[in-house]
Structures are given as structure tokens and as C-alpha cells.
Amino acid sequence: MNELFGTLSDGTAVHRWTLERAGVRVRVLTYGGIVQSVEVPDRDGVVANVVLGFEEAAGYPAHPGPYYGALVGRYANRIAKGRFTLDGWSYALPVNSGANCLHGGERGFDERLWDAEPVAHGVRLSRVSPHGEEGFPGRLEVSATYTLDEDGALRIAYEAVTDAPTVVNLTNHSYFNLSGAGSGSAAGHELRLAASRFTPVDADLIPTGVESVAGTRFDFREPRTAGPGYDHNFVLDKGLTAGPVEVAELYDPASGRVLTVATTEPGLQLYTGDHLLAPYAPNDGIALETQHFPDSPNHPEFPSTVLRPGEVYRSETVYGFSTRQ
């Protein structure tokens, strides 16, 4: 179902698409590619929305910093000092988070309006990011297709092509609270990650290398509570894969709800929402951002985020929902 959700301050209309299947209801906005809500039952069959968001369109541009539910790009996460070099050419990006470029710059994909068309069990959003947008080279044709599988899992498939060498790293920035959005802290959720390594960071949250999680607070190979105090990229054991592989499980003992995350991506950013502000509070939601690594354009030892003409960027992540007694 497609309906008018509201208008932005300049009068631009924002539409909302509702996807329903197998007892799961997901709502996606044409503004920012935002996942506005994901409604799933708990162990007793009580349905609640488990992602943080707003009931009105104006709530999103009024609270842009946390990137609630947004499609993030052209480059998710941080690029140090807003600079990188590609094929001998240097590029300067907006610095919008301390000394760094974060989530695509001052006006990334999360603040853009996307075209929408129906597909089986979902919606396909698309737009063209022109050459030079937020400093990134190349005209990028990009799409994100949101569908519900027959078991109610939310699948997001990204594709992009470019007419000039560029860098691309896309993700969804939903904050999950499996007790229900607005129910309070999610710090008691239990998290498991299939990641034996992570990328430690400096004071500006830029990776300094790769280290083992063994013997550290970053070891989630066995389930344990997920916060607060995390805004770090985990190196997934499976690496970059052609199809989605399960890499994470989040469990809420209070409601019995379980979230699983499967992805093609080689990394996952765990952010425990330490800096969320009103109308939410710190740690009210947990973001599990499937991605390539932060600052990869400046780390040739990391999996490459370079996209060239004639190539197709593809990334896919699946969010599964179930319950446990």
C-alpha cells in the first residue's frame, strides 16, 4: 500500500509504503529510504513496533543526526578528515562529524527524496546521485529494494552503477528495541556476533587496524548484553560473500523477540545509541549496520569500496524476526 505520509518544509510530498506478510508489517518512506516501523509479535502474540522513528514526516528532518531508520550513503560510516585519493586524484568531502565525513556528508542519501515503484512483496526505491554530490566523483545510479520474504523477514537489496571511478558503501541505520520503540533502554538485549576480530579506533573513531576480540569487551561470539559503550566495526568471520550469511542475533529476554541479521557485507557496525537525544534517550535502540569498513578508501588493506564503470555494486541484508520462550 502506498499513501501520502506528509510534507517537508518546502512542500515536498513524502509517501509511505506498507509491506505486510507472515504477520510482519514494515513501513518504508520515500524520504531517506527510511524504515519507519517494523511491527512484529512477542512471545505472547502482542504486536509492537521494534524500530525507533517518528509518526510524522517532519520528525525526520528535525532530528537528522541519529539517522533513524535511514538508507545511508554515498559512503556509510566515516572517512578520515573528509579526504581520500582514488587513481591519483584527491577528493575533499564535507566534514560533518568532528574532523571526519560521516554517512555521506552534510546532506547524504538519508536526506534525499527517492523515487518508488512496486515490486512483488515490496517496493524499489531509486535515485541518481550526480557527479560531485557531497564531493563524491561519478554519476551514481542507485537503488534499494525492500521486500518481505515468505517468513516475514525484511530483505534490503542495494545496487549501484557509476560512470566514473568512485567509492560506495551503503547501509540501513535502523535502531532496534525488541521490547518496542519508546519502551526504554535496549541495553539489556543479548547480542551474538560471528566476528573474531574488530577494528579498534582512535579518538575520532577512525580505525587504527584490526585486532582479535579475544579477552576484550568486543567478544560477542557467545551471547551477552549489548551495551552501552559501542560504536565499532566488527570484522565478520565469513568475509564478503555472494549471498547473505547469518552473522548476528539480538535477543530481548523481556519480550522473547529475536532479530537475526544475514548479510553479504564483510563488516557490521555495532552502535548502542549512546548519544540519542529527545524524544528518545541514550541506549533506547541498538543499530546493527552491515557495511564495508570505516575509512576504507584510506586503508588499502581493507576490503575495497571502489566502484568502477562497467561494474555493479551489490549488497544484501536480511532481518529475520522470531520469538523464544
Count Cβ atoms below 10 Å from residue 150 Cβ, excluding itself. 8
229 in helix, strand or coil?
coil
Is residue 15 flagged as an active site residue? no
Q: Could you tell me the strand order of the sheet in which 257-263 lies?
A: 115-119, 122-129, 140-148, 154-162, 313-323, 257-263, 245-251, 190-193, 224-225
Residue 252 in grid coordinates: 530481548
- How do strand 197-199 and strand 211-212 relate by DSSP bridges? antiparallel
CA 33 – CA 25 distance, rounded (Å)? 16
> β-strands 190-193, 245-251: how paired?
antiparallel
Query: Which one-letter DSSP state was computed for residue 214?
Result: T
Catalytic residue among 173, 189, 232, 299: 173
Query: What is the C-alpha separation between 272 and 284, in angstroms, rounded?
Result: 8
Rounded to whole angstroms, the Cα distance separating 68 from 275 reads 13
Instruction: Considering the candidates 111, 249, 265, 289, report the single residue annotated as catalytic.
Output: 289
DSSP characters for 265-278?
A: -SEEEEE--TT--T
Cα Rg of the chain (Å, integer): 18
- Biggest CA–CA distance in the chain, Å, is 59
The yes-or-no answer on residue 173 being catalytic is: yes
Residue 173 CA to residue 273 CA, distance in Å, equals 11
Q: Quick one: three-class SS letters along 28-90?
A: EECECCCEEEEEEECCCCCEEECECCCCCCCHHHHCCCCCCCCEECCECCEEHHHEEEECCEE
Instruction: Give the span between the Cα atoms of 106 and 27, in whole angstroms.
Output: 26
Catalytic residues: 173, 289
